[in-house]
Amino acid sequence: MTNKVATLNLGDQQVDLPVVSGTVGPDVIDIRKLYAQTDCFTFDPGFTSTASCESQLTYIDGDEGVLLHRGYSIEELSEESSFMEVSYLLLNGELPSKQELDDFSYTISRHTMLHEQLATFYRGFRRDAHPMAIMCGVVGALSAFYHDSTDIADPVQRKIASHRLIAKMPTIAAMAYKYSVGQPFIYPDNKLSYTGNFLRMTFGVPAEEYEVIPAVEQALDRIFILHADHEQNASTSTVRLAGSSGANPFACIAAGIACLWGPAHGGANEAALNMLREIGTPDKIPHYIERAKDKNDPFRLMGFGHRVYKNYDPRATVMQKTVREVLTALKVNDPIFEVAMQLEEMALNDPYFIEKKLFPNVDFYSGIILSAIGFPTTMFTVLFALARTVGWVAQWNEMISDPGQKIGRPRQLYTGPTARPYVPVSKR
Ligand code: SDX
């Protein structure tokens, strides 16, 4: 806590507001008493200058391109760690011992199965339903099946619900894919790693043994690490706001999935690959760059730009390296990768993108890898949701266990009609 204050002069009123420092990053001006003292709200649509909460999970420095999870850099975690270990770190605050990691992985693996009746949910969807629509529906329905872990006041139930969500997302995601291609669901195999099990449930078939390719398993596990958590982004804020009303964790995560689906957020990975395929060849890039700069054209470079990063998204750096590794391991020569790299180079040397500090973000390269592994573009945001579930769950737990937590209820600047008498239709 600092003794610094921010003094606000409002007409003849002067208000001192406490300034609070974190361990790193911008100070905050505590305005919780502002309305009571001044009868004024602050106004910040899109929350460009608003800290919605205190958190100890993830730190981002957008100017320096820094991303830390519980103090560990995304570069080191993506190189040295595993998604299960990063999940443990986000949930518990410290890196696990070998025994702690083994116990955690064992617990998660024992929650990978879905209640058998949930399989019938899929049959209510059209085969061509977008898998994210299925994810919203099935994850929301989990609260109808797991009543014994919906009491958010009970830390034991919160822990079970957290483990169930992290463990069942791969199963639900794989089933969404299987349903879309008309293949039978594959049950989890607890002998495999978290990511290997997901690959087998997605691409395995009953008729033959599925062999997990280590290079693919490692690349996908790294992609999950890169997507695990990201401070107070739109979908995490959605989960927190839903949770602040006391909604059960399954409903909160379903709300996060719905928000993530938007092309300005998690849906950008699907949109970015579709854009690269539409561009098709490097000679078409200048036309699309001009469209992205044209104020009258709604087209934007998908996978570019970020509310926080005004430097290179550190996840995009790791992702680009992983593209090379996967294409080499799978002996895939995808011309779209060349289009992506040339597009990046041209954009980063264009005054418009330089002036607006627009860099590739996590979604720019991920689709190239996922496509090379065999996922259809409609599954890209599903994989983002699968990985982000641990971040949503960790943020939800942090909020619920904060004794000072209140329901989130923003106010507004009202510019509508003032009070006026009703006029009967006969007189209108
Ligand atoms: C994710 O918040 C998170 O942390 C999200 C995420 C996570 O891990 O949770 O990192 C994941 O969502 C990454 C972002 C994925 N979205 C995209 O790639 C979609 C394309 N990008 C944009 O739509 C945009 O950059 C946003 C939505 C990501 C950020 O939007 P902001 O911060 O509200 O910025 P803005 O829209 O006000 O843009 C600022 C200026 C504008 O120009 P002016 O009106 O000032 O003249 O930059 C321009 C924009 O037109 N601009 C772009 C652009 N992004 C911003 N111009 C062309 N192409 C783009 N991609």
**pLDDT band at 116; cut points 50, 70, 90:** very high
* Per-residue pLDDT tens digits for 152-204: 889 999 999 999 999 999 999 999 999 999 999 999 999 999 999 999 999 99
Task: Give the pLDDT score at 424.
Answer: 97
CA distances from 164 to 148, 300, 393 (A): 11, 37, 10
> Residue 62 domain-assigned?
no
Mean pLDDT across 262-278? 95
Task: Give the pLDDT score at 1.
Answer: 54
Contact 108, 166 (CB under 8 A): yes
Q: How far is the CA of 358 from the centre of ligand 1 (A)?
A: 8
Q: Is the beta carbon of 303 within 6 A of some atom in ligand 1?
A: yes
Q: Which residues are catalytic?
A: 306, 363
Same domain, 31 and 106: no
List of residues 6+ apart from 144 with CB closer than 8 A: none
Same domain, 47 and 105: no
Atom of ligand 1 nearest to the CA of 235: 9
Same domain, 106 and 21: no
> At residue 318, does pLDDT exceed 80?
yes
Q: How far is the CA of 172 from the centre of ligand 1 (A)?
A: 30
> At residue 3, does pLDDT exceed 80?
yes
| Domain encompassing residue 220 | 74-404
> Residue 89 domain-assigned?
yes
Q: Is the beta carbon of 305 within 6 A of some atom in ligand 1?
A: yes
Q: How far is the CA of 306 from the centre of ligand 1 (A)?
A: 5
Same domain, 19 and 125: no
Other beta carbons less than 10 A from residue 415's beta carbon:
5
Task: Give the pLDDT score at 27.
Answer: 97
Contact 271, 302 (CB under 8 A): yes
> Residue 420 domain-assigned?
no
Task: Give the pLDDT score at 374.
Answer: 96
Q: How far is the CA of 359 from the centre of ligand 1 (A)?
A: 10
Domain count for the chain:
2
Contact 77, 69 (CB under 8 A): yes
Q: How far is the CA of 308 from the centre of ligand 1 (A)?
A: 9
Atom of ligand 1 nearest to the CA of 313: 10
Pairing type for strands 5-10 and 66-69 reads unpaired
Task: Give the pLDDT score at 230.
Answer: 98
> Residue 137 domain-assigned?
yes
Mutation choice for ligand 1 from 223, 300, 318, 350, CB with most ligand atoms inside 8 A: 300
pTM given for the model: 0.96
Q: What are phi and psi of 59, to 5 degrees?
A: -120, 130
Task: Give the pLDDT score at 224.
Answer: 98
Task: Give the pLDDT score at 149.
Answer: 84
**pLDDT band at 2; cut points 50, 70, 90:** low
| Residue owning the nearest CA to atom 46 of ligand 1 | 295
> Residue 191 domain-assigned?
yes
Mutation choice for ligand 1 from 229, 301, 304, 317, CB with most ligand atoms inside 8 A: 304
Tokens, residue 402: 């904060």
CATH number reported for the structural domain that contains residue 344 in this entry: 1.10.580.10
Identity at 319, one-letter amino acid code: M
> Residue 314 domain-assigned?
yes
List of residues 6+ apart from 294 with CB closer than 8 A: none
Same domain, 232 and 314: yes
Same domain, 29 and 170: no
> At residue 229, does pLDDT exceed 60?
yes
Same domain, 24 and 105: no
Q: How far is the CA of 98 from the centre of ligand 1 (A)?
A: 40
CA distances from 395 to 26, 242, 381, 409 (A): 20, 12, 20, 18
Atom of ligand 1 nearest to the CA of 265: 12
Same domain, 176 and 39: no
Same domain, 23 and 110: no
What is the 3-state secondary structure of 307-363?
CCCCCCCHHHHHHHHHHHHHHHHCCCCCHHHHHHHHHHHHHHCCHHHHHCCCCECCH
| Residue owning the nearest CA to atom 1 of ligand 1 | 265
Mean pLDDT across 88-98? 98
Q: What is the residue-averaged pLDDT of the chain?
A: 96
CATH number reported for the structural domain that contains residue 19 in this entry: 2.20.28.60
> Considering the chain, what percentage of its residues have pLDDT values greater than 90?
96
| Residue owning the nearest CA to atom 23 of ligand 1 | 264
Q: Is the beta carbon of 304 within 6 A of some atom in ligand 1?
A: yes
> Residue 270 domain-assigned?
yes
Same domain, 39 and 80: no
**pLDDT band at 150; cut points 50, 70, 90:** confident
**pLDDT band at 309; cut points 50, 70, 90:** very high
Contact 62, 309 (CB under 8 A): yes
Same domain, 315 and 263: yes
Same domain, 246 and 315: yes
Q: Is the beta carbon of 150 within 6 A of some atom in ligand 1?
A: no
Q: Is the beta carbon of 321 within 6 A of some atom in ligand 1?
A: no
Beta bridge partners of 59: 68
> Residue 351 domain-assigned?
yes
Q: How far is the CA of 88 from the centre of ligand 1 (A)?
A: 31
* Per-residue pLDDT tens digits for 239-259: 999 999 999 999 999 999 999
Q: Is the beta carbon of 385 within 6 A of some atom in ligand 1?
A: no
Q: Is the beta carbon of 357 within 6 A of some atom in ligand 1?
A: no
Task: Give the pLDDT score at 147.
Answer: 84
